[in-house]
Structure 1
Amino acid sequence: MSGYGQNPYGPPSPQQPQQPPQQPGYGYPAANSAPYQGGYPTAPPVQPYGAAPYPPAQPSNGMGTAGLVTGLIGAICSAVVFLWFFGIILGILGIVFGGVGRSKVSKGEATNRGAATAGIVLGILGLILPLVYLAIAAAIGSSMV
């Protein structure tokens, strides 16, 4: 047993312990690197005035798609005779949404010209079908009298 203050691992060795080689401090070049040239690091390039710092926005195709969906559902509702009222309302919405979608395409804000055009066409079809049914019913009704 060793007493208090005594080294339990034996007496110290007579030779000096080897020191690890000195490493250069933070920011200093290593001994085998190129010599310091002086000056400050260059700043990143500055964007010209008015340049967008973000990539351009993705096209907004919502109105053309909404026109296509409402026009299609309106045409289907108009084809089913007892849903003609919903067909007329959705046909009008298909025409409006399709028109707004086409105007966005012409401004370059959207890319779905075909969907917007289909919404307009199907919306018109949704408006015409109930009128055709009404004309057929009037013709049948007048021939029966």
Structure 2
Amino acid sequence: MPFGYPGYPGYPGYPGYQGQVQGPPGYGWPAMPMAPANGMGVTALVLGIIAAVGFCLWPLAIVLGILAIIFGAIGRGRAKRGEATNPGQALAGIICGITGIVLGVALLVVLIAVPDDAFEEDGAASGDAGYSTTLVVRS
């Protein structure tokens, strides 16, 4: 069929005719939508989970918790602007980051406030330094 023949896609009466010949994207066609920038929310969630679960390593938990809060706030801002589609992940990262910080600080307070004698096996405070003594008998 030649171009312009009735029933051909370029014919004016053809359904969907827009008055232009098809070309590569960017030449009269709508641009491809941008992929959502979800990296900050995902990063906040991962760091927050690591901080909350690994609170026994309290210095690392506190640092990772702070980073999770920062990345979560940036991710929530991107979601509000429409650049990201995961505001829930960013919020979960903030919550887990706060939890990791609280648990890490609580562990630090326990380690500082509780005396070392409380962790002995027999439960009684003794005056020795924890070393065993032996008796040597010479004949």
Whether TM exceeds 0.5 here: the answer is yes
Note if contact 2:58-2:105 (Cα within 8 Å) is conserved in structure 1.
no
Distance 2:60 2:105 in 1: 14
Secondary structure of the corresponding residue to residue 89 of structure 1: helix
TM-score, normalised relative to structure 2: 0.60
Tell me how many residue pairs correspond in the alignment: 100
Equivalent positions of 1:1-145 (< 5 A) are 44=20, 53-78=30-55, 81=56, 83-141=57-115
1:80-103 CA deviation, whole Å, 9 max, x = no partner? x2x211111111111111110000
Give the C-alpha shift of residue 52 in structure 1.
7.5
Say which one has the larger Rg. Answer: 1
Distance 1:89 1:122 in 2: 13
Note if contact 2:49-2:93 (Cα within 8 Å) is conserved in structure 1.
yes
Structure 2 gap segments, 5+ residues each? 13-18, 22-27, 119-139
TM-score, normalised relative to structure 1: 0.58
Cα RMSD (Å):
3.1
Q: Stretches of 4+ moved more than 2 A in 1?
A: 134-144
Distance 1:91 1:61, change over 3 A: same
Distance 1:140 1:132 in 2: 12
Structure 1 gap segments, 5+ residues each? 1-26, 28-32, 35-40, 46-50
Give the C-alpha shift of residue 132 in structure 1.
1.0
